[in-house]
Structures are given as C-alpha cells and as structure tokens.
Amino acid sequence: MTLQNALVLTDRRAGDLHVRERVLNAAIAHAEISEGFEEYLEIFDAFYADDIVVSSDTREAPIRGKANVRSFLFNFLVPLHVMAETGGLSVAIREMPIPGDVADETHSAWTLDLIGLSGATCTLRWCTLRRWNGSRVVYEHHYDHEQHGGPLGFEDLNLSGAVPSSGVRRPS
C-alpha cells in the first residue's frame, strides 16, 4: 500500500479510529529504512498534528511541536538508514495492536530487530499510546521499553564499504 492510497483510505474513514491506527502502523512497518528515511518523514507529516506532543518513560521532558519531533525523528532515522544502506544492517519492525476501551486512544506493541553482518542482534521492544484528534495524532507516549542483546558495534557492520572474504580478518 502506497502512502497516497493509505491517506485516501484514512480520509474516507476518518471516523474509525482503529482504521487510522492500522493504516499508520502498516505504513511504518512497510517502509524500508535501507531505501531511505524520507518515507518515514512523509508518514509523520501526513499523520501527526502540528501541536503533537511525544513523551517517553525514558525521557524527562516531552518533545513538543511538529518541527521539534520531526528533528528528533530525523536524527534517529538518518544513522539507521546509513547503517542499513551501507553497513549491511538488517532492520525489521513489527507491530501488534493492544486492545483498549478509551475513546480516541490506541495502544500498540512494537518490536525492532537490528541484525548486523556478524549475526549479532539487538531487539528493542516498546509500547505506544496514541491520542487522536480526527485524522491526526496529537499525543504519543512510548512506554515499557526492553532491549535484548547489546548494542551493535563497528565489528557487526561493514562501514568500510568492502565486505571481507571468508577467513580473512580486517586489520585492527
């Protein structure tokens, strides 16, 4: 599903909160970070309100306003894209809805798998609460963060531009 098709569907069924949530989550899950980070920014621009507030149980202060959140997102996405495109990092993201009964509020559980060329993995899990106003997200909170596996290092990626042959070690 292209972002344009997703937006048409969302606009037609703007009254259905769960349709909007599914379309947003599907757009995020199907975007390919190895191909570029711009699609994620387009998704953000299309679904989030100008006065968005994003908070997390790992940050002291929330991020307020679309420009500030967009900048934060950009600073996260660009290095991830570079590691995926040139470093051989495999990136997979999955989402599972969490049932809820609060009007204009959705919850979902996310899993992000990062797999280096060395086979080392780092899996991040968290939950997201979103509050909607019409077709736009006005508040997003990330909670219940988990990390399995350590951070990936230079030895797990190919940032030199050349893949070493089997059995040949890179100089230290």
Whether residue 151 is contained in a domain is answered as yes
Asked whether residue 169 is domain-assigned, the answer is: no
Q: Do the domain assignments include residue 167?
A: no
- Look up the domain containing 54 and give its range: 3-156
The total number of structural domains in the chain stands at 1
Residue 97 pLDDT > 60: yes
Average pLDDT over the chain reads 86
Does residue 10 lie in a domain region? yes
Q: Note whether residue 162 is domain-resident.
A: no
pTM of the complete model: 0.81
Q: Distances from the Cα of 30 to the Cαs of 6, 84, 108, 159, in angstroms?
A: 12, 15, 16, 25
47-53: average pLDDT: 98
Residue 15 sits in a domain whose CATH number is: 3.10.450.50
The answer as to whether 172 is a domain residue is no
- Over residues 40-44, mean pLDDT: 96
Number of H helices, E strands in the chain: 4, 6
Tell me, yes or no, whether 126 lies in a domain.
yes
Lowest model confidence (mean pLDDT) among 11-15, 74-78, 80-84: 11-15
